[in-house]
Amino acid sequence: MPLGSPSIDSLSETVAAALPDALGDRLADATGSQRDSRDSAGDCGCEPAFSTPTDRPDDDTVTLAVDAGDCPHRGSLSTSAPCRAAVVEALETRDADRLVVRADGLERRYDADATGLLVAAGRFAERVRFRDDRLADRAREDPLGAAHEATGRAGPVRRAAVETGLAEGASRSADYGDALRAVVGPTLARSRVDPRPPADGRLVEATDLDTGAVARILRDGIESGDFRAGRATR
């Protein structure tokens, strides 16, 4: 669909209307640009729940949906260790194919690699908790750090990191901003937007909007040609 089409413009207006006033903070949460929170797990109000499609009997896709409406961190998995722990603890009991987090009328939908990393962390934590409870706790809050520690050791712990997929999943990313990347959109809309511009993007145009936001168009070198991004200013 061309970026300048009425449908895209309509989607942009819908997203802009649905996003909360603190757009900059919310997008920073989704992209991992804020400092990683190390508050206690008691400060997290995330409520994970598993579900499968009820209207498609042959579809056994498992979705882990996290209600983060009462969470002070809004379920930001890339920046909040307690939120990661809540999700990984749920995944110790059951695997999931999809992962979504909902708060403030927004939904973060995590990609397959991000979901796979947290699923692997759940498997790893469940497997090693009787052998090394401290490392299991670290896997819940800090899967990347736990993977690095486990692969630096010998014996059953290292083997568990490899066999659960934690080592492979962690090897793809250097930080949580990249490892737990999500696309964002209003919960009532079907479309989702990646709030982060492409790494090789080149600024083509910037426009100040009446809302106080700045809309930027970047050239990304892909077929679509342009990437449109907006950031609120207060």
Is residue 126 domain-resident? Answer: yes
Is residue 137 domain-resident? Answer: yes
Please say if the pLDDT value at position 123 is more than 80. yes
The pLDDT-based confidence of 156 (bands split at 50, 70, 90) is: very high
pLDDT of residue 215: 72
Task: Determine the average pLDDT of the residues in 123-131.
Answer: 96
pLDDT of residue 193: 59
d(CA 109, CA 128): 29
Number of domain units in the chain: 1
Is residue 22 domain-resident? Answer: no
| Strands of 202-208's sheet in order across | 202-208, 213-219, 226-232
Contact indicator for 166, 147 with CB cutoff of 8 Å = yes
The fraction of the chain above a pLDDT of 90, given in percent, is 53
Is residue 210 domain-resident? Answer: no
Is residue 205 domain-resident? Answer: no
Pairing type for strands 63-67 and 47-51 reads antiparallel
Is residue 191 domain-resident? Answer: no
Chain segment 185-221, per-residue pLDDT in tens: 887 756 555 666 666 667 788 788 787 767 777 776 5
The pLDDT-based confidence of 183 (bands split at 50, 70, 90) is: confident
Average pLDDT of the chain, as a whole number: 79
> What residue numbers bound the domain in which 70 lies?
47-186
More confident of the two residues 93 and 230: 93
pLDDT of residue 191: 53
Q: How big is the chain by its Cα radius of gyration, in Å?
A: 19
pLDDT of residue 226: 45
pLDDT of residue 115: 97
Poorest-pLDDT segment among 135-139, 189-193, 226-230 = 226-230
